[in-house]
Chains A and B, each alone.
Chain A
Amino acid sequence: MTIAPCRPKWASTMTDRERFNRQMHYQPVDRSFNMEFGYWEENYKQWPMFVENGVTNELEANHYFSFDRIWAISGNVWLSPSFANQIVEERATTTVIMNEDGVLAEVPKDRHDSIPHFLKPSVVTPADWQRVKAERLQRDDPTRKMDIEALKFFDPVDRDFPLGINCGSIIGKIRDMLTFEGLAYAIYDYPDMIEDMVETACVLVEDSLDQLLPHFKLDFAAGWEDICYKGGPIVSPKFFREIVMPRYKRISRKLHAAGVDIWYVDCDGDVRPILPAMMEGGVNCLFPFEVNGCSHPAELLNKYGKDLRIMGGVDKIELGKGREAIKAYLHTLIPLVERGGYIPFCDHRCPPNVDPDDYLYYLDLKEELFGMKR
């Protein structure tokens, strides 16, 4: 089924690439960059506009709504091979799986969106780690050599959209491998193991950057951690500063040497306690900036000035409350979009409790407020 866009792309006088770079560098733009961050699986099954138009995933939704285009290339920066995803046990309402991080996890049988219930990791002790490192995290594994020519598909000579590079994860994937509680205990019980895991993650990212940076003219770098929750970080700021931040600095040096001066990290929850260390390490943009777990984007943009950009920050809780709430919230973002360094979109995957008609209203209002002025 061919998916036809339900609305035209926002009027513009610049390319998506030019607009993104100017907006992120506080230069005048024709309008705000127009993007979103996807939807829950339930939305594709429940929203009539998705069901009736055959929209089943984020890429198709981006095309359906005619958002601006943005993309990132990646090296092979973590487990290779990953653990095989497999079903271990079927229970009454849940299924126990082994996931690709080697963790036994309980997921809903009907596969509705839920954070899994993590049962048991494959890595607990240093001996476990050494085994997994030897089997799946070797630098010279042939699968880590990237096909540069194939990736060049995303970087044509006349590229008109921003293209980024994946900077992987220095602590977040370690949390995925050990589980939330496992990481908390391991920091105390096996500090050398944790530091070796962090160093391994960093080296694999550095190797990837060494391979790719010379061949592409990139507009941004994209990292992922998800190392915070509503109550703050799940590692202490001291740990982050002493163990993670020096690795961020190493990555940042490579990015800057290649002319990449925008580095966003996807980290949900309250990042404020570790943000100074993140920024000292070279991160200068937060994504998708979960409002209810952290703050209104204005708080941090005002505090850090032009040293910090934010992408996201449209409170999904407000989207779910209806049009008056959506309108009131979007109006609070007007000065932030005007100042530059801020691209507004829903602060995570849009959940299914948002009424689809309200969602269309949100998109229309976003264009009215942040699109090209007539």
Chain B
Amino acid sequence: MDTLVKSIYDNILEGQHKIVESKTQEALNSGIAPKVILDEGMIAAMAEVGRLFEIGEYFVPEMMVAARAMKAGLALLKPQLVKANVKSLGKVGIGTVQGDLHDIGKNLVSIMLEGAGYEILDLGTDVSPEKFVEAVKTDKVDVLALSALLTTTMPNMISTIAALEQAGLRKKVKVMIGGAPITEGFARQIGADGYAPDASRAVAVAKGLLA
């Protein structure tokens, strides 16, 4: 691995956003291909963050500062990626379901998915089934990621899937769900395609759904 790219990788792991920003600029100036910086420096670093989170060595603060560091570099990289016609791994529309206003879980999942190379369409909170349908119809998302914190809003995951079916769009999109009261059993019961118990494992679920 190029030393500059390694430095980006290491400083993402350490959450050093200012260093990541300057090293990314340095890497671009030195002619390293944007995709190499992205894949080997950034996505690889966030994959390691996910692994460390899953084995209980990294926790939420480490995940968030690493993601912040990656975003600092990605902001410089994005225009170059567009120029080089580098495509994302897929487009994910993510939102907290209708009736639920919190966004912490959704934000953590967005961080990890973006860190893994997915394009994120953040639909916000209190998202109606119709708005999720619109994201599939108009924004052509490949995956819908639904978040719910409350037992009382879990049924809105069912109505969102029903709305997709009614619109004739259910087969055009994969649906993954997660949140505090959500279980694998509930996901199976309502016909979701995937369940993510936490932000880190959401990446593996998305990869599996789009494989």
Interface residues of A (CB under 8 A from B): 40, 42, 93-94, 106-108, 112-117, 180-181, 183-185, 187-188, 229-237, 239, 269, 273, 292-293, 316-317, 320, 351-353
Is A317 a contact of B151 with CB atoms below 8 Å? yes
Q: How far is the CA of A112 from the CA of B101 in the complex (A)?
A: 11
Q: How far is the CA of A170 from the CA of B87 in the complex (A)?
A: 46
Query: Whose C-beta in chain A lies nearest to the C-beta of B186?
Result: A317
Of the stretches B22-30, B54-62, B74-82, B160-168, the one at the interface is: B54-62
Is B62 a contact of A93 with CB atoms below 8 Å? no
Is B59 a contact of A113 with CB atoms below 8 Å? no
Query: Whose C-beta in chain A lies nearest to the C-beta of B200?
Result: A231
Interface of B is mostly: loop
Provide the residues of chain B in CB contact with A112, threshold 8 Å: 99, 152
Mask of B98-142 contacts with A, CB within 8 angstroms, 1/0? 011111110110000000000000000110000000000000000
Provide the residues of chain A in CB contact with B15, threshold 8 Å: 188
Is A234 a contact of B60 with CB atoms below 8 Å? yes
Given A185-B68, A234-B60, CB of A316 within 8 Å of CB of B102: no
Q: How far is the CA of A237 from the CA of B180 in the complex (A)?
A: 21
User: Is B89 interfacial (CB 8 A cutoff)?
Assistant: no
User: Is B181 interfacial (CB 8 A cutoff)?
Assistant: yes
Q: In the complex, which of the residues A93, A117, A236, A317 contacts B103, with contact meaning CB atoms closer than 8 Å?
A: A117
Interface residues of B (CB under 8 A from A): 15, 56, 58-62, 64-65, 68, 99-105, 107-108, 125-126, 149-153, 179-181, 183, 197-199
8 closest A-B pairs by CB: A115-B102, A184-B61, A117-B101, A231-B198, A236-B59, A184-B64, A114-B101, A234-B60
Is A116 a contact of B180 with CB atoms below 8 Å? no
Is A114 a contact of B100 with CB atoms below 8 Å? yes
Listed residue (B60, B104, B108, B181) with the most chain A CB atoms within 10 angstroms of its CB: B60
Q: How far is the CA of A42 from the CA of B105 in the complex (A)?
A: 24
Listed residue (A184, A239, A353) with the most chain B CB atoms within 10 angstroms of its CB: A184
Q: How far is the CA of A280 from the CA of B39 in the complex (A)?
A: 43
Is B180 a contact of A234 with CB atoms below 8 Å? no
Is B101 a contact of A185 with CB atoms below 8 Å? no
Is B104 a contact of A180 with CB atoms below 8 Å? yes
Is A232 a contact of B101 with CB atoms below 8 Å? no
Q: In the complex, which of the residues B61, B107, B108, B151 contacts A235, with contact meaning CB atoms closer than 8 Å?
A: B61
Is B102 a contact of A352 with CB atoms below 8 Å? no
12 A-B residue pairs with Cβ-Cβ distance under 8 Å, sorted by A, are A106-B101, A114-B101, A185-B65, A187-B61, A188-B61, A231-B198, A231-B199, A232-B59, A234-B60, A235-B60, A269-B180, A292-B180
Query: Whose C-beta in chain B lies nearest to the C-beta of A320?
Result: B151
Is B59 a contact of A273 with CB atoms below 8 Å? yes
13 more CB-based (< 8 A) A-B contacts, given A185-B68, A235-B60, A317-B151: A108-B126, A113-B150, A117-B102, A180-B104, A181-B107, A183-B61, A185-B61, A188-B65, A231-B108, A232-B56, A235-B61, A292-B181, A351-B150
Is A117 a contact of B125 with CB atoms below 8 Å? yes
Provide the residues of chain B in CB contact with A233, threshold 8 Å: 59-60
Q: In the complex, which of the residues A94, A229, A353 contacts B151, with contact meaning CB atoms closer than 8 Å?
A: A353
Is B152 a contact of A293 with CB atoms below 8 Å? no
Is B64 a contact of A115 with CB atoms below 8 Å? no
Q: In the complex, which of the residues B59, B60, B126, B197 contacts A93, with contact meaning CB atoms closer than 8 Å?
A: B126
Query: Whose C-beta in chain A lies nearest to the C-beta of B178?
Result: A230
Q: How far is the CA of A317 from the CA of B152 in the complex (A)?
A: 11
Q: How far is the CA of A234 from the CA of B104 in the complex (A)?
A: 11
Q: How far is the CB of A250 from chain B (nearest CB, A)?
A: 24
Q: How far is the CB of A219 from chain B (nearest CB, A)?
A: 32
Is B102 a contact of A114 with CB atoms below 8 Å? yes
Query: Whose C-beta in chain A lies nearest to the C-beta of B179?
Result: A230
Q: In the complex, which of the residues A114, A231, A239 contacts B61, with contact meaning CB atoms closer than 8 Å?
A: A239
Provide the residues of chain B in CB contact with A320, threshold 8 Å: 151
Provide the residues of chain B in CB contact with A183, threshold 8 Å: 61
Q: How far is the CA of A183 from the CA of B149 in the complex (A)?
A: 20
Is A94 a contact of B59 with CB atoms below 8 Å? no
Query: Whose C-beta in chain A lies nearest to the C-beta of B125?
Result: A117
Q: In the complex, which of the residues B59, B103, B126, B151 contacts A234, with contact meaning CB atoms closer than 8 Å?
A: B59
Q: How far is the CB of A197 from chain B (nearest CB, A)?
A: 15
Provide the residues of chain B in CB contact with A108, threshold 8 Å: 99, 101, 126
Provide the residues of chain B in CB contact with A237, threshold 8 Å: 59
Q: How far is the CA of A113 from the CA of B68 in the complex (A)?
A: 31
